[in-house]
Amino acid sequence: MNHVTSADGTRIEFTSVGDGPGLVVLPGNNRRARHYERLAAVLSERYRVHVLDRRGRGGSGPQGPAYSIDKEVDDAVAVMTATGADSVFGHSYGGLVGLHLALRQPVRSLVLYEPGADIGGRLDGSFLAEFTRRVESGQRVRPFALFLQRMGLLPFGKAPRFVFTAVSALILADRTEGAEMRAMMPTTPAELGELIRLASDGSRYRAIGSPTLVLAGSKTAPAFLLDICADLADIVPGARCEVLEGLGHNAPDNDAPETVAARIAAELAVHA
């Protein structure tokens, strides 16, 4: 593990692999650097890949009381400055960080997979207070079930709450993945709060001047992430939206990292 010190003094750890032009990878919510090892391994054949453990994960410092998307951008910029990397890949919430990083400074290539941006008010964030209260009280299964249901992250969105509770209990019971997700859950209220706070018509992203590719999976849930992909392609100057057939939201970190990595590599090569 390598590390940098962010603008506010927070320690940010990251892994590095491969040789070549630098690429910074920004993980999604409830994801750590290790979840992108397969993605990084494919990309490392042509690139020097740096994957962050974002705030509140692993050996990185806490989110802190003044947490915001700008803090996440500070962290990514610190890694880019230390490594010389000038391209960025962001997944889910990491994609939202990537968008705001590109608003602050240009990058050689910006690739996003289903970025967690709420454009057009598609996300109902009214559950945030209950979710936060349950997490802060030490609960894990019930708030996770609420999160999955209200975010539309499972294909059976109309099912009763007890179905989501059962699925959540099963996921969180795993000794490795489940334990890690339980440990990271306290980071979710602040991240969800930022996603809700930043909901807009998306016009702010017209100021992005970097080459931008937005990827989405045809089988993703929630389905509005496909609309976000198309919206960003319309808003960001010169941006493109590509839908990858048969993939879902966790393609970069779990289901099809090799496929996503190959598409990222091809895009980076265009802007080398």
272 residues of the chain, pLDDT tens digit each: 999 999 999 999 999 999 999 999 999 999 999 999 999 999 999 999 999 999 999 999 999 999 999 999 999 999 999 999 999 999 999 999 999 999 999 999 999 999 999 999 999 999 999 999 999 999 999 999 999 999 988 877 678 888 999 999 999 999 999 999 999 999 999 999 999 999 999 999 999 999 999 999 999 988 889 999 999 999 999 999 999 999 999 999 999 999 999 999 999 999 98
Residue with tokens 């010190």: 5
User: How far apart, in whole angstroms, are the C-alpha atoms of residue 108 and residue 110?
Assistant: 7
Residue with tokens 């706070």: 197
pTM: 0.97
Could you tell me whether strands 48-53 and 11-17 are parallel, antiparallel, or unpaired per DSSP bridges? antiparallel
Q: Quickly list H helices, 106-160.
A: 128-136, 141-151
User: How far apart, in whole angstroms, are the C-alpha atoms of residue 156 and residue 123?
Assistant: 17
Residue with tokens 């590719």: 213
Q: Do the beta carbons of residue 4 and residue 14 sit within 8 Å? A: yes
Per-residue CA distances from 117 to 113, 131, 190 (Å) = 11, 19, 15
Q: Do the beta carbons of residue 252 and residue 39 sit within 8 Å? A: yes
